[in-house]
Amino acid sequence: MARVPLIGEDEPQLAGLIAHLKAQRGGRLINLYRVLLNAPPLAQAWLAFNSAVRYSTTLPQAIVELAILRVSALNGAHYQLRVHGPKHALAAGLSVEQVDAIAGTAAGAPLPAALFDARQRAVLACADAITREIEPAAAVWAGFAEHFDARQQVELTVLISAYNMHTRVARALQIDTEPPSPDRP
């Protein structure tokens, strides 16, 4: 149960923002935004920023979701793992085995490198370094830079950093995942 109230969809003073959030999130007001609506300007800014980080880059969605899952697993953020794994990561092209392997690392299982190609391993190493040490070692960055141009290096660094914030907010506020609806996993 979240530490702050979940704002309902019927709050008249927030009707415009709620309609906007739902329109941008597939018609659903997810618990993350129901919590963030306790601070409406932050809910609005969160949507704009995280939408840009996820969808306004030159990165393939499979790379985006790989980074999100890894950060979520490292931070023990079950909310993001449950949302991104079965819904977004698989749709972006990651395999069930890859998603399961990354999710398993949240419980301490080692990550089987053979499931990932060199580019994916570079993303995973960079996500690990940014999440754990903040500043990746030169060797980690060099491996990362072999696969991504300067723009993509910035895009991935901001994505990884944003999801470190994202996962920490979800954990600190103890946001629960929504129960699946019949039309959505």
DSSP string, 135-157: S--HHHHHHHHTTS-HHHHHHHH
- Rounded distance, CA 1 to CA 176, Å? 6
Smallest Cα–Cα separation from 77: which of 162, 5, 172, 155?
172
Please report how many Cα atoms fall inside a 13 Å half-sphere around the Cα of residue 179, on the Cβ side: 3
Q: How many CB atoms lie within 10 A of CB 102?
A: 29
Per-residue pLDDT at 179: 73
Mean pLDDT (whole number) for 58-85: 94
* pLDDT tens digits along 88-104: 999 999 999 999 999 98
- Rounded distance, CA 117 to CA 13, Å? 49
Per-residue pLDDT at 143: 97
Per-residue pLDDT at 177: 85
Per-residue pLDDT at 15: 97
Q: Are 41 and 17 in contact (CB under 8 A)?
A: no
Handedness of CA 55, 116, 75, 139 (dihedral sign): negative
* pLDDT tens digits along 149-183: 999 999 999 999 999 999 999 999 999 988 765 55
Mean pLDDT (whole number) for 112-139: 96
